[in-house]
A and B are shown apart, each in its own frame.
Chain A
């Protein structure tokens, strides 16, 4: 049952990602990217990281995609005209280098992953021996919160400073330019 769901989610994620890559219509590709993100959230839940899955839905689907839609609508009309001109789809000469590079990357990555044998590595075996593996019975969110405030407090604070910097930077970039320097 779980493996069937995994394969369905993976097929949806990869298929909609391929559609994003192949489609010439910007609006359609944005909405298919929604579906990719939802399927990825499902994959996170299947990997017993339910809180990360929920965060994915809230932050990505609720935040980032709305931002992308805003940027798309504000940067407007001639986008669509420009997109109508480029009729060429996935296979064309101008996109051949990108296709070659992506395929080469995939071959290399898949080779490495198949040869690395991550399931037989030492620390995975050690984790299984020490009962350090998550099971569907226990909830991880308790220890996640405790760890976030104890073990990982320094990266947490560093990220809060970075968020503040991003906020100031975005506000600075998007203000009206009267006293341009």
Chain B
């Protein structure tokens, strides 16, 4: 029998891996992948709890909203990454140290 705690533990592991990816990678795209991983861990929690809400469907609805928000934020973030690459010729977050050139 799969209980809620199993889902929660999986999402905790995914969230921690996402934090590690965000903090340790020297590439803006990989940092973005880490953020997506953390978002997915949150969505997994929403879906797992949404199983116990058949009438109102709150968990699944907000999981859908979270997926849409993640897609929108990724599109904007990738546009920013491409702009930064055009100006600085690098996408290492540690080397971009000025707001205005």
Residues of B within 8 A of A (CB): 1-10, 12-21, 23-24, 26-27, 29-30, 32-33, 36-37, 40, 43-44, 47-65, 67-76, 78-83, 85, 89-92
Check: A132 CB closer than 8 A to any chain B CB.
yes
Q: Within 8 Å CB of A8, what residues of B?
A: none
Q: Which residues of A contact B (CB under 8 A)?
A: 2-3, 6, 10, 13-14, 17-18, 20-21, 26, 29-30, 33, 36-37, 40, 43-44, 46-49, 51-52, 55-56, 59-60, 63-64, 67-68, 70-72, 74-76, 78-79, 82-83, 86, 95, 97-99, 101-103, 105-106, 109-110, 113-114, 117-119, 123-124, 127-128, 131-134, 138, 140, 143-144, 147-148, 151-152, 155-156, 159, 162-163, 166-167, 169-170, 173-174
Closest to B75 in A: A170
Q: In the complex, which residues of chain A have a beta carbon less than 8 angstroms from the beta carbon of B74?
A: 64, 67-68
Q: Complex formed: what's the CA distance from A30 to B78 in Å? A: 14
Determine the distance from Cα of A81 to Cα of B30 in the docked complex, in whole angstroms: 16
B50: A residues at CB distance < 8 A: 47, 49
Q: Are A52 and B80 in contact (CB under 8 A)?
A: no
Determine if A67 and B78 form an interchain contact, defined as CB atoms under 8 angstroms apart.
yes
Q: Is B44 in contact with A40, judged by CB distance below 8 angstroms?
A: yes
Q: List 9 A-B contacts (CB under 8 A).
A: A14-B14, A36-B37, A44-B44, A55-B67, A64-B70, A82-B27, A159-B65, A162-B69, A169-B76
Contact B27 A43 (CB under 8 A): no
3 interchain residue pairs of minimum CB distance = A98-B23, A102-B20, A106-B16
- Which of A40, A46, A63, A109 has a CB less than 8 Å from the CB of B16? A109
Contact B47 A14 (CB under 8 A): no
If A75-B29, A99-B20 touch, whether A49 touches B60 (CB-CB below 8 Å) is yes
Q: Are A173 and B52 in contact (CB under 8 A)?
A: no
B68's partner among A59, A106, A151 (CB-CB below 8 A) is: A59
Cβ A14 vs Cβ B17 within 8 A: yes
In angstroms, Cα B58 to Cα A155, docked, is 12
Q: A14 to B27, Cβ gap below 8 A?
A: no
